[in-house]
Amino acid sequence: MPRSAATARAGPPEHGQRRVVIENITPCVDGGRFPIKRVSGEVVVVEADAFVDGHDAVSCALLHRTEGTDAWQREPMVPLGNDRWRARFAVEQVGGCLYTVAAWVDHLLTWRSDLLKKHSAGQDVQVDLQRGALLAEAIAMRAGADDAQRLRQWARSLTEAAADRAERVARAQDPALYELAWHYPDPEQLLVREPALGVVVDRPRARYSTWYEMFPRSAAAEPGAHGTLADCEARLPYVAELGFDVLYLPPIHPIGTTERKGPNNRPGAAAQDPGSPWAIGSEAGGHKSIDPKLGTLADFRRLVARAAELGMEIALDLAFQCSPDHPYVREHPEWFLRRPDGSVQYAENPPKKYQDIYPFYFETPAWRTLWEELASVVEFWISQGVRIFRVDNPHTKPFAFWEWLIARVKRVEPDVLFLAEAFTRPKVMYRLAKLGFTQSYTYFAWRNTRHALTEYFRELSTPPLCDFFRPSLWPNTPDILTEYLQFGGRPAFTVRLVLAATLGASYGIYGPAFELLENEPREPGSEEYQNSEKYQLRSWDIARSDSLRDLIARINRIRRESPALQSNVGLTFHGCDNDMLIAYSKANAEQSDAILTIVNLDPHHTQSGWLDLQLAALGVERTEAFQAHDLLTGSRFLWRGARNFVLLDPQRGPAHVLRVRRRVRTERDFDYFL
């Protein structure tokens, strides 16, 4: 295609002397449109391609700085081969960081390489030494006073007539001088990748957290009584003993009466039916109010404070929807969609109807006032001490809204965390994570086979997904009672608990339904609970003898004591000749902590098989004996090599959670295990 006249007349580029190329920087999400995610104390490993035409040497630097500061810190990037470079930096401060890559043609390095080749070949290098001195003088012109003096002294030493030529060639190889010169690249050759890439730095609970979901209205000690926030406070020691650090409460706001649902989502509630907590709003208030039956704001603040004393945080449900009785419906009718008959459009998921819930109409011309009001809801609860929000169905609200809201919150309160409850299409889930959600629910509940689990968690733990998407694994929720749990009995609950707690750094359960093995569906083929707590009060005997409370407490203690289980990196799947057994490990970067988990996925039958372990992932040599200590039972196994036999009876214990202890030899020639 012919060039236009304007293109034909275009002059040379502004920086025609700049020859270096920078490509393929990682980590990078959507070309830098979205930041990657890390928690304070973690390291960002950056790689990039950097190269130049011809045979000149290239130098690379990683630049990074905390947002709000001006000075870039520089780290030298090391060559990996094939024009690939790598460096790393640690993030410490919660908030945001920026990073980028700089590269330049390094004439001094090129000169040294050519000089040594000529000298080794016995050629005359007198002129080459003079050229090196000129390069050093040019760098000195860009350097600070002390550094400039050292560079000029070095330049003189290269041309010193009294010195032996071999000695001057040796001086040309002084690494300290090259390290010094690296800080003063030629600005005409320097290329900095712009714009810089971003990092959202969260507090450690963004990566590692253990959630317990509980309805406060079912926390009363007296069966049949409506629970209160005070009852919830009395339940806190129980939750702490189980080892959870986040207590998540479904909506605690006033519940509407119009179109209120009865038990099992039945239309037409009786007078005593409490309704769904997600039908928010009544004459008692809306999203900034507490249901009077639960208590007061003072009660809530006391609950938050008491939880903190026990090492826990309160996570609050953020459900942006209204009952027909919400004050917003009366005060801001423009925020809701009207149907042709003049009625307000209620929530539907055909064929399901939720007449007790009005969704907000985000395409309203009054969207700006709607956004501002919803942001004020989040800010109100932050002022009450909430730092974690579980967001209900965020995929049914605009992406732009969430990006704006989360950025607005984090500019002022960077430690606030958002969990996305978005069981939707993968690309939608991932977009929500990219634009700011700290963690996300996953498809874990429906992944039951070894193949399905392996493929899914390999995807979740591989870049670029793992750079922005933090999974939160839930074997059950008030909306999800899977077929596996319905028919697998106690072993099924144990299996899903172990998988969730060891595959993911963050997991949660809906209790007490989980530890009390609640498994009756509303009807065959349904994942809804019979007598669902979403629509009625439930009385739970948390002291029941068949409770899983001891196992849950043990699993959570293992997680607290195992750094490898507190991260989503370092996950390796191991081979086994029986598809009903899944084996995987996690190890921290130093491999000082390696946890190998083996699970029988069949809740009904004993399964056995031979493992084919990837020993390098466990930090074990091929012929080395090592001890596998089962942290669930206390049993110890002495294994050697990759091939080892396992047998798991689901009735006695469907899983091993093994700490790998390697054999070492001391100076006294005694063998013991780390």
**C-alpha to C-alpha distance for 260 and 193, rounded to whole angstroms:** 57
Same domain for 499 and 609, yes or no, is no
The phi and psi torsions of 497 (rounded to 5 degrees) equal -65, -50
Domain membership of residue 432 (yes or no) is yes
**C-alpha to C-alpha distance for 47 and 50, rounded to whole angstroms:** 10
Domain membership of residue 341 (yes or no) is no
Crossing angle of helices 367-383/399-412, nearest 10°?
40
Domain membership of residue 360 (yes or no) is no
The answer to which of 56-60, 166-170, 248-252, 305-309 has the lowest mean pLDDT is: 166-170
Residue 199 has pLDDT above 50, yes or no: yes
DSSP label of 145: H
CATH number, residue 603: 2.60.40.1180
Q: Which of 42, 291, 299, 421 is catalytic?
A: 421
Domain count across the chain:
4
Of the candidates 53, 46, 54, 51, the residue with the CA atom closest to the CA atom of residue 22: 51
Same domain for 282 and 413, yes or no, is yes
Give yes or no: 167 in active site. no
Q: Which of 325, 392, 518, 593 is catalytic?
A: 392
Same domain for 629 and 644, yes or no, is yes
| Integer angstrom CA distances of residue 94 from 22, 38, 225, 447, 660 | 29, 9, 43, 34, 33
Same domain for 163 and 122, yes or no, is yes
The H or E element spanning position 554 is helix 549-561
Tokens of 212: 């317990």
The phi and psi torsions of 266 (rounded to 5 degrees) equal -75, 130
Q: What is the pLDDT of residues 618-665, one digit of tens each?
A: 999 988 899 999 999 999 999 999 999 999 999 999 999 999 987 644
Note the pTM of the prediction, 2 decimals.
Answer: 0.93
Tokens of 100: 């980028």
Q: What is the pLDDT of residues 322-356, one digit of tens each?
A: 999 999 999 999 999 999 999 999 998 888 889 99
**C-alpha to C-alpha distance for 379 and 360, rounded to whole angstroms:** 19
Same domain for 97 and 115, yes or no, is no
Domain membership of residue 586 (yes or no) is yes
**C-alpha to C-alpha distance for 254 and 231, rounded to whole angstroms:** 18
Domain membership of residue 659 (yes or no) is yes
Domain membership of residue 187 (yes or no) is no
Same domain for 144 and 237, yes or no, is no
Q: Which domain holds residue 161?
A: 108-181
pLDDT of residue 673: 45
pLDDT of residue 670: 36
Same domain for 584 and 652, yes or no, is yes
Percentage of the residues of the chain whose pLDDT score is greater than 70 = 96
Q: What is the pLDDT of residues 582-604, one digit of tens each?
A: 999 999 877 678 999 999 999 99
Place of tokens 């290098």: 125
Same domain for 285 and 421, yes or no, is yes
pLDDT of residue 259: 95
CATH number, residue 499: 3.20.20.80
Same domain for 304 and 394, yes or no, is yes
CATH number, residue 152: 1.20.58.80
pLDDT of residue 667: 41
The amino acid occupying position 199 is V
Give 124's pLDDT tier (boundaries 50, 70, 90).
Answer: confident
Residue 674 has pLDDT above 60, yes or no: no
Q: What is the pLDDT of residues 473-497, one digit of tens each?
A: 999 999 999 999 999 999 999 999 9
Of the candidates 586, 596, 599, 604, the residue with the CA atom closest to the CA atom of residue 647: 599
Whether the Cβ atoms of residue 61 and residue 20 lie closer than 8 Å to each other: no
Domain membership of residue 224 (yes or no) is yes
**C-alpha to C-alpha distance for 226 and 663, rounded to whole angstroms:** 57
Give yes or no: 667 in active site. no
Give 17's pLDDT tier (boundaries 50, 70, 90).
Answer: confident
Same domain for 58 and 126, yes or no, is no
Whether the Cβ atoms of residue 623 and residue 663 lie closer than 8 Å to each other: no
Residue 389 has pLDDT above 70, yes or no: yes
Q: For all residues of the chain together, what is the average pLDDT?
A: 94
Place of tokens 């089962």: 630
DSSP secondary structure letters along 392-443: E-GGGS-HHHHHHHHHHHHHH-TT-EEEEE--S-HHHHHHHHHTT-SEEE-S
Same domain for 132 and 60, yes or no, is no
Residue 510 has pLDDT above 60, yes or no: yes
Same domain for 523 and 620, yes or no, is no
Domain membership of residue 189 (yes or no) is no
